Every structure is written in C-alpha cells, then in structure tokens.
Chains A and B, each alone.
Chain A
Amino acid sequence: MSSKELDLRQVHDTEFPLPAEMQGNVAITSLSKIYNWSRRSSMWPMLFGLACCAIEMIGTASSRFDFSRFGMEVMRATPRQSDLMIVSGTVTKKMIVPIVRLYNQMPEPKYVMAMGACASGGGPFKEGYNVVSGIDKYLPVDVYVPGCPPTPQALLYGLIALQKKIDGQSLANLDDVPWYGVGPSEPTPIPILGPDIIDPRQMDLIRRQAELAAAGKPYGVRELPPVVKTTKAIPSKAAKAAVAEVVDEGELKRREEAARRRQAVLARKRARDAAKGV
C-alpha cells in the first residue's frame, strides 16, 4: 500500500524508534496496535434510533459533521454487522426487551455508547413509570455522552473517546479482550414484561421481597438514614488533589494548557471585536 493511501505513522508503534527520514515510509508495529487501529477505524454503528437524541445522531452522520471521517459511516440496520450500539434516546421498559435482544445478537467485540441524559440515567423522564433510568441498568456501557441532546460535536467527542479506549486495549490481556477467551460469551438475560419490567437477574431479590411482604414487612422500599446537610465547601486544594488522583499529571497539564489557550483565543477575539466596534 502506498503511503498516499495510508499514513503509516498511524500504525507505527512509537515504542520502536525510527530514524526521521524513514518515518512515514516504514512502520514497525505490534499486533495489538494494528489490530486496534483497524478496529477503531471501522467502528460500524447500528442504525438504530430511540428518541430525540437520534435526530442529533443523524445530524452527526450527515454531511456537515460527517462521522465517516472516523470510519463510522457504515451504519448497519442489522445487529449482526455492527460493532457499536449508540443508545440514542430514552429507554423505555417496553423497548428494553428488544434492545437487550439486539445487543445479544451483536457479535463480539461490541461496544455500547449511552448518548444523552436519558440513556445515561433516565434524563428528564427519569421518574416516568415506563422509563428505564439508564441503559446501564441492563447493558455494560463504554462511553457516556452527556447532553439533552448532546450536540454533534459532543457525540463526535464521545466517539473519539471510544476510539481511545480501544487503543488502550491489549491483546496480551484477556481481561481487555475477553472475546478471545474460551467459549461463547454469556448473553444478557432478556427482561420480561410482567406487572412491571422484570430483570431476570433480580428474580431472587423479588422472591425475597415477596417473602418479606408476606411477613408484613414493607415491600420494595429501603429505609435510608436522613440526609445530613453540609454547607462546608470542599477546599480547592483538596479538590485538586482528588482530581489529580484519578487523572494523570500529563492529562492535567494538557487540560490547563488547553484552558489557557482558550482564554487567549477569547481575549484576542474580544480585542478584535472591540477594534471592529461590534
């Protein structure tokens, strides 16, 4: 393949140093890297929209934002050919049954993205009697994209985050790539539409609760200690330390740098506007 069609720097593993004149012409790579690269560059989402967020998803797929730039333009209507399920909208109890079924039909490796407030946690409709408060009650989610609806930019950011996640997976680690383990992966049990939606994984819990109810105890409610009001603000040093604990230093530096840059751009822009007298 000529370097015009493929930028070899993308597949080159920086662990192997190359002289400058060879960069872009020769690539030395690892199996994990090239495998991840090919996978992340051809993430096929399922053509599947649930609610309002789907409109923004279609907007992202259309010419203006165009996620085919990330190799994602092939939206497949069948789960059998898709790698990514973008849960774009409110998940209702009636709909979760087909959703779980669709998820089970997707071949491994598969990823789930919760797009928008509804898919992430119920969103504005959380208290509704027919609403599942977040797809993660049933399926493992890889990326959450906040927003109601997330803008196409936000969705693209989420997709890039997913690509990063894939980049970080290593073939050497079976925890990362369990689908290479022995035997087929376990299907998620399909929920049942009874008097209310029933998660088969909770059968025992339901049974135990029924026994409690038969014994005259309250059914289905958990007694919680009263919430303690606290007005004490978290000192910002402690907050920074807490952030530093989960975010690595380079990332923190990069963010600060980005924030500075943004401020600079804003300042320049204000100056420009002022000069123009807008």
Chain B
Amino acid sequence: MVDYEVQAPPTTGSAQDAATYLKARFPGVVSDDTRPGFQGVIVQADKLGEVAQAIRDELGYNYLSSATAVDYLGAGDHMEMVYHAYRISGGGALNFKVQTEREKPVVPSLVNVYPGANFQEREAYDLYGIHFSGHPNLKRILMWEGFAGYPMRKDWREAYYEGEAKPFESRWPAGWVHRAEERNVFGSNVRYPADFDLSKLTDISDQAVYNSASISGMGVDYQQDEMETDQLVVNMGPHHPSTHGVFRMVLKLDGETITGLEPVMGYLHRNHEKIGERNTYLHNIPFTDRLDYISSMGNNFGYVMAVEQLMALGARYTPPTRRAEIIRVLMAELTRIVNHLWSIGFFLNDLGAFFTPMLYANAEREKILDFFEAVAGSRLMCNYMRFGGVFKDIPDRIRSTANLMNDRIRDYDTMEFLSDMINERLPRFLEEYDRYLTGNEILLERTVGQGVLSAEDAIAMSCAGPLLRGSGVAYDVRRADPYSIYPELDFDIPVGKQGDLFDRYMVRMQEMHESLRILRQLLPLLEETKGQDIMSGTRAYNPRIPQGESYGRVENPKGELGFYVVSWGDAKGTQNPWRYHVRAPSFINLTALGPMSVGQKVADVVSILGSIDIVLGETDR
C-alpha cells in the first residue's frame, strides 16, 4: 500500500487529483479501479457515507449526476453501485463505486449527502434488490410492490426470454420461429413463481403507495376505507390530462393546500435497460429515440457519444468528421426548439390557456419535423446518428414522401428552407408568442413567486436543465463539460433569479433564442463543409466495442441526459453492452416536485409539474 501525504483538498483540478487526495485521506478504504477501461475509485461499502461527505464538502463535487447499479454475475459475482459526481462550477466527473455481495446486497444510502440520490437508489432497490441502509422511503418505484424478483439482475429472465444477447439464434440466421406467445401457456407476457399460491393472492401495490412517508400518518385506514381526520387524499393520474402522460401523484390536502405529495411512476416502465443489454450497440439507437420521444435527436446524440468514448479506448478509432459534428449540433439545437415549443405550449395548457397557445406552437414545430422527416425519414423517431457520424447527409430538397398528391405544396431547397426558418419564421414566431404571452397578467399571476426552488436545493436534488437554470445556477453541460463543436460556438446560458415558474418559462423562451443564435452560426459551416464525409471509420453493422465503461452526457432540452455504458466480458471487445443505463433528467427532476409543491394550492401542482417538463418515456424508461 502506497503511503500518500494528505494535502489540502483540490477543489478545482482533475478527477485524478481528487482520487489521489481521497486515497490519502482514507487509506485502505479508497482504491483505484484497475479494470481495463474503467475509471474512478472503489470505496469500501461501510465507509461510503464518510467518503461521499468528503467528496462533496472537501473536494467540491456537489452535484451527483447519476447513481446506478451494475450486476457483475460471472465477472466477480458482485453488485456495484456507480456514482458520477460533478462540480457545479464545471469540469469532468468523479466516478466512485462501491461493491457488495449479490446474495444480500447492502449499501449505505447517500440521500443525506446527495438528496438527488433518492429516486435512483429506489430504482436500484427495485430492479436489483440492493438495500440502502438509512434510506427514508425505500420501496419499489418503477415496478409495483409485490412483484416477484429483481428484474434487472443478470439471472432474472423475462417470460418471453429467448437468449442472452441479440441477434437471437432463433431469428437469425435460422429465421423461422414460434411466436413467444405460443411458447407460453398463458399466451401472454407473464411468468409466475413456481410456488405461486393463488389463494394467498393480495394486491398490495396501492397500499404501499398510501403508506409512504409523505402521505401516511393522516389516519387513512386503507383497509377499512374510512377517514378520521379532515385531511384529504387525492389521486391525480395515471390518467389525468395534466400529468403529461401516465404519471400519478398522490396528494395529501388540507383544504386546498398541499401538505404532502407522493409521485408514483412506472406506468410506462418498458424495460428499456433490460432490453438494451440484450441488444447490440447499434440496436439501441432506435430505442433511445423512444426515451424522450419529443427530442429523439438529442437522445441519439448522448448515446452515440457514450459509445464513441468506449470506442476511443480501442486502437482503431477515428472521431466523427467535422460535417457530422455540425449536423449533430444542428439537429440537437433544432430539437431544443421543438421541445421548448412543445413544453411551453403544454405549460400554458396547464395554466388554463387550454390548447390555443399549444396549437400555435405545434404548428411551428411541424415545420421542423418536416425537416427531420426529409433528413432522417421519420418525423418523430429519427434514429439518425451513428457511431462516428450520422446516417445520411442532408438532402438537397425537402419533399413530402407520404402524400404524393401534395408534392407541389412541399418541395423546397433545403438550405433555403433552413435559413428561412432560422432567420425569419422562428424569430418572428417567438417574438409574436412573447408579445401575446409573456406580459399577460394571468400568466404572471399564476407563475411569479409560485413553485419556488432555491439554487441550493436544485443542486442538492440533482435537478438539471431549465429547472436548475431557472433557479439561478448557470450549469449547462454544453459549457460546463463541453462536447462536440460547442466550444467554438457563441451562445449564452440564460438563468432565472428566483427559481419560480415564471423563471423557468423565461429560461425556455430565451434558450430558444440562444438556439437560434447557434443555428445561425451553423448555416455557413454547413455550406462550407458541403459534400464532405458524414461518417468516419468503417461503417460496421455490428461493431465490437472495447472493454470499459463510459458516461456520455449531453444537455438535452429537458436537462442533462447521461448514458452509462459498460462493455465487459470479452477481452477482444463485446457486441452487446453489459450494462446500459440512462440518467434521465425527467426522472431525477421529479425529486423536486414534492418539496416545490408542499404549501401550494392544488391547482398549482399542475403548473409546477408542467414547469418541470417531464416526459414519461424517459421518466419510467
């Protein structure tokens, strides 16, 4: 064991310096992760709380971006929790891990140090069965209470299980198969434990919700259906027009004032990560489209970046070409506008301006979708980026493909279309939208001073995106940890002052202007690089990815979107990820929903939720 000299903690500096400091500060507790391609440090499980405290307070890594579990069955046979922490002033990640046994995995909870770990630990408990000692509300979050097993474990198999990794033998090269339903006696995607006793069946899924810390203790006897106090429990969702999908909130009300709020999710949990482990790396790109399905291009971007980081560990890697990077940023910024138009439209819906602003915003959004359709072939699910570039160059003309008879209506020169949209249409629309809405008295009444989130809380709860910036924290991954060609682009980061609903609204409005500013800088670059290659390296159908881990993150419209990808199990490189985790901004931003809503009126919770701007595909994955 090397003996380190304890020096003053480096509060700027690289993750390497931080690791050196930690090893000296906690000798024997903290050690380097020496697996090939892995970074960061491994912390002894029982000391995790202390070390995390030091990481936050002494080293200044005060923003926990992601916390997730990995099951290394057959590769050391342990469970691992992986944390990525950042400094809110910018810079790279400090990656720390704890390892625990698979049989009875226990890890100390970090909720006291990083409140933003709350939901992520619950998710790890739900899907991996890791117990977090000291967690205030440890129960299932995506699946329902009472579900059998921990589905993300490597040895847990779904009812329609076919093989460990795609392409499945049965489908290719053999190709002729029975449908999964036929093989299952129940004809459906279900599997019961072998010793399942129907007579003892109880549905405890709702009971668990009502027993939550934030809701319970109010005399609701769930069993007897009677109430003893004059408080009221109201269920909103999963079917409710204001929850933007299938999100559910259980509210505890005193009159009209909210005294407790329990978010319930998982109604759209479609097992993205489990399927992602069976998929090849390339297979996963279209799946990422379906995360935040309003901004699919942005999701592609994050994922290909994460895999490219892994590919960079190998010998033969060429970074994406310049034209590819320009197109990627073009798409990402257009996506930001698409998303903000959508979210502001729906936010106004939530405020009671039922559908009119939304229809105007959507009409503008459709124009951008036309461009996406012409380029990627699909309006919504673009599936556009590839490792090393993008899948197709921008076509010369934009035409409608679905409706031949309308061809005369939609036939433009692409660059003209883009430049008209960026220089004329969108600015004009934004200006008009701004004029009609921003000074509107009703809007001001409903938003100013409502749903306040302080900067400290926003950082502590790992909020991201406009929610974080609305609270006055100028944290934007494009600047804090730059990627692609953002360093050479000129743009500002809008921030709010008070952290209320109005600030979030304004941040989104201004971000659209900033995106337009970026887009204007991109147009000449596009002309300049016309005809250049859009892909680097070989266009492998099924690339082998070198062993290692990577965390790729982008500033998606909803906040920081991160992909934690582990390639493990074959020294020559793997075809399927060992672990594929999505750090979803919508999911983690919801941590702040409860604290922001308590004390507000029930009508405000609708607008507070709207101001967070969640999308369920990403929240539940």
Contacts and interface: CB of A to CB of B under 8 A. Distances in A.
Contacts of A131: 189, 270-271
Given A94-B144, A98-B239, A221-B184, A50 B151 contact: no
Interface stretch (B285-293, B440-448, B515-523): B285-293
Interface stretch (A17-25, A56-64, A180-188): A56-64
Interface of A: 47-52, 54-56, 58-59, 62-64, 77, 89-90, 92-95, 98, 102, 122, 124-133, 137, 148-149, 151, 153, 192-199, 202-203, 205-207, 209-210, 213, 219-222, 224, 227-230, 262, 265-266, 269, 278
A199 B198 CA distance: 12
Contacts of B194: 213, 219
15 contacts: A47-B241, A95-B267, A98-B267, A102-B239, A127-B189, A131-B271, A133-B160, A149-B380, A149-B381, A194-B146, A194-B202, A210-B198, A221-B185, A224-B183, A229-B176
Contact of B359 (A62, A90, A102): A62
A132 B271 CA distance: 12
Nearest to A96: B267
B358 to A, nearest CB: 8
Nearest to B404: A265
Contact of B271 (A56, A125, A221, A266): A125
B78 interface: no
Contacts of B148: 195-196
Given A59-B366, A127-B162, 4 more contacts: A51-B617, A59-B379, A92-B268, A128-B158
B144 to A, nearest CB: 5
A96 to B, nearest CB: 10
B406 to A, nearest CB: 10
Interface residues on B, range: 35 or more
B191 interface: yes
B268 A50 contact: yes
B275 interface: yes
Interface string B447-466: 00000000000000000000
Q: Determine chain B's interface SS by DSSP, over half rule.
A: loop
Contacts of B189: 93, 122, 126-129, 131-133
B407 interface: yes
A94 B245 contact: no
A62 B341 CA distance: 14
B247 to A, nearest CB: 11
A115 B195 CA distance: 37
B404 A193 contact: no
Contact of B404 (A63, A149, A221, A269): A269
B162 to A, nearest CB: 7
B188 A137 contact: yes
A220 B151 contact: no
B197 interface: yes
- For the complex of A and B, list the 5 residue pairs with the smallest distance between their C-beta atoms, beginning with the closest: A128-B271, A195-B148, A52-B293, A125-B270, A129-B158
Given A55-B294, A128-B274, A220-B192, A49 B245 contact: yes
B75 interface: no
Interface string B146-175: 111001000000111110000000000011
B205 interface: yes
A197 B190 contact: yes
B213 interface: no
B204 to A, nearest CB: 8
A103 B192 CA distance: 26
A89 B268 contact: yes
A196 B275 CA distance: 18
B161 A151 contact: no
B87 to A, nearest CB: 35
A222 B184 contact: yes
Given A92-B270, A220-B191, A222-B183, A124 B160 contact: no
B185 A220 contact: yes
B178 A195 contact: no
A122 B180 CA distance: 11
Contact of B180 (A51, A127, A228): A127
Interface in B124-159: 142-144, 146-148, 151, 158-159
B362 A206 contact: no
Nearest to A64: B366
B188 A199 contact: yes
A230 to B, nearest CB: 8
B363 interface: yes
A206 B143 CA distance: 22
A244 to B, nearest CB: 27
Nearest to B248: A98
B159 A129 contact: yes
Nearest to B367: A64
B616 interface: yes
B161 A127 contact: yes
Nearest to A219: B194
Contacts of B180: 126-127, 133
B362 A58 contact: yes
A217 to B, nearest CB: 11
A112 B485 CA distance: 48
Nearest to B148: A195
Given A128-B274, A153-B403, A198 B246 contact: no
B405 interface: yes
Contact of B238 (A98, A122, A222): A98
Given A52-B293, A95-B246, A128-B158, A133 B181 contact: yes
A102 B188 CA distance: 21
Contacts of B25: none
B196 interface: yes
Given A55-B380, A133-B180, A202-B186, A94 B143 contact: yes
A128 B270 contact: yes
Nearest to B292: A52
A52 B183 CA distance: 29
B271 A196 contact: no
Contacts of B293: 51-52, 55
Contacts of B158: 127-129
Q: Which of B271, B294, B397 has the most CB of A within 10 A?
A: B271
B198 A203 contact: yes
B246 A50 contact: yes
B269 interface: yes
Contacts of B188: 132-133, 137, 199, 202
Nearest to B144: A193
